[in-house]
Amino acid sequence: MINFKARNKLYVSNAYRPETKEAAQGFIEDIKKSAVKSSGEKYELGCKLLEFYNSKSYASRSHDNDVRMDYGHYLSCNAHSAVFFAVCEIEFGLDKSEVSRLMNVVDEFGKRDKSKGLIEKYKAYKWSVLVELLSMSPEERELVTPDMTVKQVRDLKKKLVATSQQKDDEEEDPVPVREEPERFKKCTRLQLIDYIESLEERIRALHGELPDESEVA
């Protein structure tokens, strides 16, 4: 998964040079040509967005008024990921969630050379299912098969969360139970009353055996 926060303090010193602005415009024009209809086309778009992001050339747009209004005023870190997302929304009509999904599917399931497509293992999966896999661990992904629908994958995720929660609850330290004295464990109510009365008689007897205070003086 791409750590977009890693760019939040990044400043590109050559961002406002003509060549950087030209590079950014080249990426923008190329991405605009991408018609998204099939999974393959979504993958291609994700590749182009990832390439644009990695180039950092989008930082050249950080001074643009429309971009600044959208992302704020991170002028001390012109390559802030918010600048990138603002440019994508303005130029391509894609919001942050859409952009991050497109890029993360490519980053997570694409070959080392991203331009060569998905890893063989994931080629049979629908794009919508690949998006669902993003929030799953490698072990959990093994439970998902190419023929599963998005609903089935989401149901599986709910079950995994419930199972994990149950396991956590079972592993919690049990509340200590106060043990009753051994002699009371098998006592009936009447036996307990008799026992208490006998204790009271013994206490009274002991008090009677004590000498009077005046006699002691």
Q: How far apart are CA 124 and CA 131, in angstroms?
A: 14
Both 107 and 194 in one domain: the answer is no
What pLDDT is attached to residue 216? 45
What pLDDT is attached to residue 217? 45
Both 41 and 128 in one domain: the answer is yes
With helix as H, strand as E and coil as C, how does 81-148 read? HHHHHHHHHHHHCCCHHHHHHHHHHHHHHECCCHHHCECHHHCCCCHHHHHHHCCCCHHHHCCCCCCC
Averaged pLDDT, groups of 10, the chain, 217 residues long: 91 94 96 80 95 97 82 72 94 95 97 92 96 96 97 96 76 62 63 78 72 49
Q: At what angle do helices 81-92 and 39-55 cross, to 10 degrees?
A: 130
Q: How far apart are CA 45 and CA 132, in angstroms?
A: 18
What pLDDT is attached to residue 157? 96
What pLDDT is attached to residue 190? 73
Both 26 and 96 in one domain: the answer is yes
Match 């750590």 to its residue by tokens. 3
Both 96 and 188 in one domain: the answer is no
Both 72 and 144 in one domain: the answer is yes
Contact 79, 12 (CB under 8 A): yes
Domain termination site, one of 153, 174, 191: 153
Both 122 and 57 in one domain: the answer is yes
What pLDDT is attached to residue 77? 85
Number of domains in the chain: 2
Give the chain's end-to-end CA distance (angstroms, integer). Answer: 89
Which residues span the domain enclosing 188?
A: 183-207
Both 73 and 19 in one domain: the answer is yes
Both 138 and 32 in one domain: the answer is yes
Find the largest Cα–Cα distance for the chain.
114
Helix (H) or strand (E) holding 28: helix 18-32
What is the reported pTM?
0.72
Q: How far is CA 61 from CA 30, 33, 106, in A?
A: 17, 20, 25
Q: How far is CA 85 from CA 2, 59, 66, 89, in A?
A: 14, 11, 12, 6
Both 15 and 113 in one domain: the answer is yes
